[in-house]
Amino acid sequence: MGKVYVVTSGKGGVGKTTTTANLGVGLAKNGYSVVLMDADIGLRNLDVILGLENRIVYNSMDVMEGTCRLKQALIKDKRYDKLFLLPASQTNDKMDVSEDMMKKLVA
């Protein structure tokens, strides 16, 4: 089982997304398999920072709702073999995600 790290803050604009992207790239460059998950439902932007926004087909809500499998929603970064992104939904609201849904997805 892998490790889960959470980058969070109650305030916007403090660098959560930038920190997450840099940590993920750094770990992947050092040989670790990394899945970055954007949990900002409705306001995703980790995909933009990583340059993967044009490759999104499915997102975390699709996985949680059973529309697709996790493997289908993961986007493999072309620059780093061991880096993947699970994007957030832009059409849902954070209130659409229960605590249990998020726990199950992370597990």
Cα 30–Cα 60–Cα 79 angle in degrees, nearest 5: 30
pLDDT bin (cut points 50, 70, 90) of residue 1 is: low
Q: How many CB atoms neighbour CB 13 within 10 A?
A: 7
Q: How many domains are there within the chain?
A: 1
Whole-angstrom Cα distance, residue 85 to residue 12? 21
Say which CATH number the domain at 45 has.
3.40.50.300
Provide the β-strand partners of residue 36.
85
Range of the domain at 87: 16-106
Question: With 80 as the cut, is the pLDDT of residue 42 above it?
Answer: yes
Q: Is residue 74 part of a domain?
A: yes
Nearest CA to 96 out of 62, 72, 53, 70 is that of 62
In a domain, 50, yes or no: yes
| Segment 49-91, tens digit of pLDDT | 999 999 999 999 999 999 999 999 999 999 999 999 999 999 8
CA distances in angstroms from 75 to 7, 9, 40, 54, listed in the order given: 20, 25, 17, 10
In a domain, 9, yes or no: no
Residue 3 maps to a domain: no
4 part of a folded domain: no
- Is 58 inside a domain boundary? yes
Q: What is the pLDDT of residues 31-40, one digit of tens each?
A: 999 999 999 9
Q: Is residue 11 part of a domain?
A: no
